[in-house]
A and B are shown apart, each in its own frame.
Chain A
Amino acid sequence: MTKEPFFKDLFSSFGFTFRADLNGCLTPEKSGDTANEYRMVREEVAIADLSHVAVFRIMGRDAFNFCDFLICGNVGMLREENILHSIIVDTNGAIVTEAYLAADGEEYILFAEGGDYARLASLMEQARDGLDVKIASLVEDWALFSVDGPYCWIRMSNVFSSEVLGLRYLSFMETEIGRDKGYVLRAGKTGEYGYWVLVPKATANDILDNLMTADSEHQIALYGIDISKLAKLENRFLNLETEGTHVKSPYELGLFWMIDRTKDMIGGSALNNMVKSGINNWVIGFRTPGNVADAIRIGDPIQYEDVIGMIVNSGFSPAIDETIGLALFKKEYAHIGLDYVAGSDRVPIRTACSPFIMNKSLSVRME
């Protein structure tokens, strides 16, 4: 059965279309004006529905042991009110989902974005075996959305107090909402300032309405998954629905920093073997002038003399007026500044440093 996004009515009222993502959740796709959605993310403030993210509360005496065995990052180093950004892999070391783990006292809140949730459920069962741990899904009673953009902090501080201005990237705070509590997390995948807001569904519409109407000289709009996908690509955030469907090795994707190979965890042996046997391919970025995104499709080969790689993500970046993308290359060819051709049209591309853009938020100071 398809799961509906919590803010479906709101997004519908702004003309958004919807599509089912890989885990059967209907997701706001795009409005009739994607150029405006993009502009709001990059220059003003924009809100996205994150109903497709799976959210769990992990409780019990062995909550730490469970999380540390399930998640590739070092949970032992995670301090209270901080967030660990990592991945969950299967016993073969293949990425199953992207994970944000928030340390909430003796408990944890796990946010899993993208990938295969059925496989995730199976791995969670494996990890809890013999442990005193209780797992509660929060998606029935809680709503999750993001507030992004170089000036999002103004509206966030107006609605949630100026405390949000003190949140460092990958930290969070609890917030009182009437008799309920909610969470504001400093996180995001646009490269601009960003917050995730997790609140009871009973209050979510009011809070979102407060954000939309809060006093600010900067405009606000909604944005859908198409612009979210482009924003991730421009800033080289992982997207399991694009590059993640073609590349399962976290090392080939450059996610080594999300992995602590010194600990015992699901997939630990496989990850160690990947490093020992050598990493033969790397995903790196490429770009080419103008909008030729239609001629550079996911799955297309990249050639020098022979085939040396494959496109795993691409799109047109309005910020730099170029087509950008990611490709999986044989490692010896995976260096920047090199000219290759892509696809059956043999479009010239040049391998390039990523992130591809300089975000406006880098020059905006929170006050």
Chain B
Amino acid sequence: MDQSLNEQIIPRQEVVLHIINSLIDYLNIPFTPDEIHPDAVLFGSGLGLDSIDALEVVMIIEREFGVSIEESDIQPLRTINTLAEHVLTSRTGFPALSKAH
């Protein structure tokens, strides 16, 4: 893998893994980090979180990454990958994806 691709992947990988470990620690999700797929839906099916957990997820992201999620913005709360995307694009200096993506 070339260096430029690796430089894109590493920060994403770190954030995704940090989110997975935090969800397991704080919300007692009964899966190991190795088996959790980052496209896992957070609520309803998937990880099976509920509306009370949603508040906890927002607090986890704020506590662990210093990034807030607006109450009206439900897009970041769909999957682990959308949470990671929100964290990465909210951080200063990280190259945001184009809006279409």
Q: In the assembly, what is the distance between CA of A278 and CA of B101, in Å? A: 30
Cβ of B5: which chain A residues have Cβ within 8 Å of it? 304, 338
* Given A282-B37, A284-B39, A358-B75, A353:B81 Cβ within 8 A: yes
Cβ of A85: which chain B residues have Cβ within 8 Å of it? 45
Cβ of B74: which chain A residues have Cβ within 8 Å of it? 362
CB pair A285–B39 under 8 Å, yes or no, is yes
* Given A304-B5, A336-B81, A337-B85, A275:B101 Cβ within 8 A: no
Q: In the assembly, what is the distance between CA of A16 and CA of B13, in Å? A: 46
CB pair B40–A256 under 8 Å, yes or no, is yes
CB pair A336–B12 under 8 Å, yes or no, is yes
Q: A74: nearest residue on chain B (CB-CB)?
A: B30
B97 within 8 A of A: yes
B52 within 8 A of A: no
CB pair B12–A236 under 8 Å, yes or no, is no
Taking a contact as CB atoms closer than 8 A, the residue among A256, A282, A336 that contacts B85 in the complex is: A336
A14 within 8 A of B: no
Mark contacts of A332-350 with chain B using CB atoms, 8 A cut-off: 1 yes-contact digit, 0 otherwise: 1101111000000000001
Q: Which of A256, A282, A289 has the most chain B CB atoms inside 10 A of its CB?
A: A256
Interface bin, chain B: 20 to 34
Chain A interface helix/strand/loop/mixed: loop
CB pair B34–A355 under 8 Å, yes or no, is no
Cβ of A304: which chain B residues have Cβ within 8 Å of it? 1, 5
Taking a contact as CB atoms closer than 8 A, the residue among B2, B45, B82, B100 that contacts A289 in the complex is: B100
* Given A287-B101, A353-B39, A354-B39, A335:B79 Cβ within 8 A: no
Q: A286: nearest residue on chain B (CB-CB)?
A: B101
B44 within 8 A of A: yes
CB pair B79–A256 under 8 Å, yes or no, is no
Taking a contact as CB atoms closer than 8 A, the residue among A257, A278, A279, A287 that contacts B48 in the complex is: A257
Given contacts A256-B40, A305-B2, A336-B84, 10 further A-B contacts (CB under 8 A): A254-B37, A254-B40, A257-B31, A257-B40, A279-B34, A284-B39, A322-B100, A335-B9, A338-B5, A355-B78
Interface residues of A (CB under 8 A from B): 85, 169-170, 236, 251, 253-257, 275, 278-279, 282, 284-285, 287, 289, 304-305, 322, 332-333, 335-338, 350, 352-355, 358, 362
Can you report 14 A-B residue pairs in the complex whose CB atoms are below 8 A from each other?
Answer: A236-B41, A254-B37, A256-B35, A257-B40, A275-B35, A279-B35, A287-B100, A287-B101, A332-B1, A335-B9, A335-B13, A335-B16, A335-B38, A336-B81
